[in-house]
Amino acid sequence: MAVADLRADEGEGALGAEAEKSKLQKHFGRADIFFFLVCTLVGIDGLGTLATKGGEGFTWLVVCVLLFAVPSAALLAELGAAFPDEGGPYVWVRMAFGRLVGAINNVFYWVTNPVWMGGTLVGTALGGLMTFFHHGQAFSTTFQYVFALAFIWAGVLFAVLSFRVGKWIATIGALARFALLGLFSVLVVAYGFVHGFHGPSAGSYAPSFSGFVVLVPLILFSLVGFELPSAAGEEMEDAKRDVPAGIAKSILATGLLYGLPVLGILLVLPEQQASGLAGFPDAVRQALTVFGGTVTTAADGTTAVTLTAFSTAVGYVLGILVVVVAFTSGLTWIMGSDRTLAVSCYDGAGPRALGRFSERFGTPLRVNVLSGVISTLVFVAANTITSGDAGKFFTVALALAVSTTLISYLGIFPAAWVLRRRLPDAPRPYRAPAIGLLTVVSTAWIVFCTVQILFPGLGDGWFTADFRADGWAFSERWTYLFVELVPLLVFTALAVAFWAVGRREVRAASQLQAQPQHAG
């Protein structure tokens, strides 16, 4: 079958695809793709968790980079270079498996991001502000809601603007990551020279099943997204050359930006202090004592940090960088995934009304607004369900975002192998080696981790102390499952409904075109 036949499957264009594509603006070059990928891949919401698990966290990070990030990136580099269509991740799955599978997979791919924006990322930004500006104390409910609304809807505003503007926000976000994580790495080394280098024992680096269950889903969540720039494939200046090059550079940058801070925490902070960290901002605050301040550790491993005026001022700067990093993480994902949903809708896998791009900005305005509404609802719902408990709020939102994200790759990764077999003669500027093996390995990681997110510890001790999320008791395991599983079922039903609406609209448009035209 020819490439054109698969791209035109079931009447693409009947709902105005060409009209919408004519609104797209080319502003996406090779450097932009690299910075966009760094901004997409490197977050800080999981760094503290990796460090609290001792050397094992670093071991699993290295294993996942080598045996998951590299294989999956190779698959996505081939897809992005060979099929540089707008809405790439959706188009690849639809070409490989059909419009219904594409619709379901794409809703999971898209909905992850408003869930993540309104849940984990708001929580991370608030955590950074609390740590550096509020002495670790919770803000009032009113402040939390005002901040969350500003955070979410500022993201929507920037997503509405064209890539000509949005790419610079992503570049600022990438530079903020280099500044924040680079400075932190320097700080922990300086802290080590002042207080001595400790480091966990060699045995703590040995991997375990409990560490796999707790850490690997979070690590995989941090290492997916190499395909996201391809959501704007037809807004790139030269996707066939730039996508593989950008992905190759971003793998190295991502590994270093994650690995060096985690290794620094492990080698510098005493094991008892590292295990008492509540998150990355806590580690930064503790390292800031090299500029002046003290750290006291209680018997339970929790620490109390007192900073001088100068170290507090430096902390303010780093706290702002934490907010910028969290904000731009959500923004890049919203910019990409909103495009995939809009493309699926004008392709007939969703309501045509959501498949419209702005004439002025060349962006999917309606989907951008919808993402903002969902983010707001997620923040309100998660905050209500957990009764304002920040710990439970964070773990619930993060687990849901991780599960929806990983599920979407069950369609994306196999698409590379399927399209290689169905379209062997399609031009491929980059060809992934041993594509069958890479597909099996990448997909197997996703399947196992998805199961473990829903049933932590299944096969050893479901929801026992070694596996359950922080802040949850064994007696709450069914509540946890309910909070995670029900949204997944709702998202699946939403995807099927989108597909049904889109299918009906395609048929109606086809029948209208088939009617004979009479002269007036």
Q: What is the mean pLDDT of the chain?
A: 85
Among 143-147, 443-447, 504-508, name the one with the lowest average pLDDT: 504-508
Is pLDDT larger for residue 163 or for residue 388?
A: 163
* Residue 520 resides in a domain: no
What is the arithmetic mean of pLDDT over 484-502? 91
Residue 331 falls inside a structural domain: yes
- Name the band, by pLDDT with cuts 50, 70 and 90, for residue 246: very high
Q: Pick the more confident residue, 49 or 432.
A: 432
pLDDT at residue 300 greater than cutoff 80: no
Q: Is 456 helix (H, G, I), strand (E, B) or coil?
A: coil
Which tokens in the block code for residue 19?
A: 């009209």
232 bridge partner residues: 86
How far apart (Å, rounded) are the C-alpha atoms in residues 259 and 352? 44
The confidence score (pLDDT) of residue 63 equals 95
Residue 165 lies in a domain: yes
Closest listed residue to residue 338, CA positions, set 163, 476, 511: 163
**Does 139 score more than 90 pLDDT?**
no
Share of the chain above pLDDT 90, in %: 42
What average pLDDT does this structure show over 278-303? 78
Is position 510 within any domain? Answer: no
CATH of the domain at 479: 1.20.1740.10
Amino acid present at 477: R
Q: Is 307 helix (H, G, I), strand (E, B) or coil?
A: strand
Whether residue 10 is predicted with pLDDT greater than 60 in this model: the reply is no
Domain residues for the domain of 188 are 3-504
- pTM confidence score: 0.87
Amino acid occupying residue 417: W
Question: What pLDDT shows up at residue 514?
Answer: 65
The rounded distance, in Å, linking the Cα atoms of 268 and 200 is 9
Dist CA 79 CA 19 (whole Å):
25
pLDDT of residue 26: 78
With respect to residue 402, please indicate whether it lies within any of the assigned structural domains: yes
Listed in sequence order, the residues at least 6 apart from 138 whose beta carbon sits closer than 8 Å to its beta carbon are 130, 390
143 domain residue, yes or no: yes
pLDDT digits (tens, 9 = 90+) for 312-338: 999 999 989 989 999 999 999 999 999
Q: How many domains does the chain contain in total?
A: 1
Q: Which residue has the higher pLDDT, 478 or 395?
A: 478
Q: What is the pLDDT of residues 448-475, one digit of tens each?
A: 988 888 888 887 888 887 777 666 778 7
Q: How confident is the model at residue 50 (pLDDT cuts 50, 70, 90)?
A: confident
- The larger pLDDT score, comparing residue 391 to residue 305, is at 305
Kindly state whether residue 485 falls inside one of the protein's structural domains.
Answer: yes
Tell whether the model's pLDDT for residue 4 goes beyond 70: no
Q: Is the pLDDT of residue 8 over 60?
A: no
Residue 322 CB coordination number (10 Å): 24
pLDDT single digits (tens) 180-237: 988 988 888 888 888 877 777 777 888 888 888 888 888 998 899 999 999 988 888 8
Do the beta carbons of residue 17 and residue 7 sit within 8 Å?
no
Instruction: Please tell me the least confidently modeled range out of 11-15, 38-42, 70-74, 107-111.
Output: 11-15
What's the rounded Cα separation, in Å, for the pair 88 and 84?
6
- Alpha-carbon distance 425 to 431, whole Å? 12
pLDDT for residue 411 is more than 60: yes
The pLDDT of residue 390: 53
Look at residue 149 and tell me whether its pLDDT is greater than 70.
yes
361, 368 Cβ separation under 8 angstroms: no
- CA-CA distance, 132 to 320, in Å (whole number)? 9
Q: State the pLDDT at residue 15.
A: 57
Instruction: Provide mean pLDDT across the span 36-41.
Output: 92
Residue 170 covered by a domain: yes
Q: If you average pLDDT over residues 506-512, what whole number do you get?
A: 78
pLDDT band at 520 (very low <50, low <70, confident <90, very high): very low
Average pLDDT over residues 112-117: 86
Cα–Cα distance for residue pair 41/117, rounded to 1 Å: 15
Exposed/middle/buried for 298, CB within 10 Å: 0-12, 13-18, 19+?
exposed
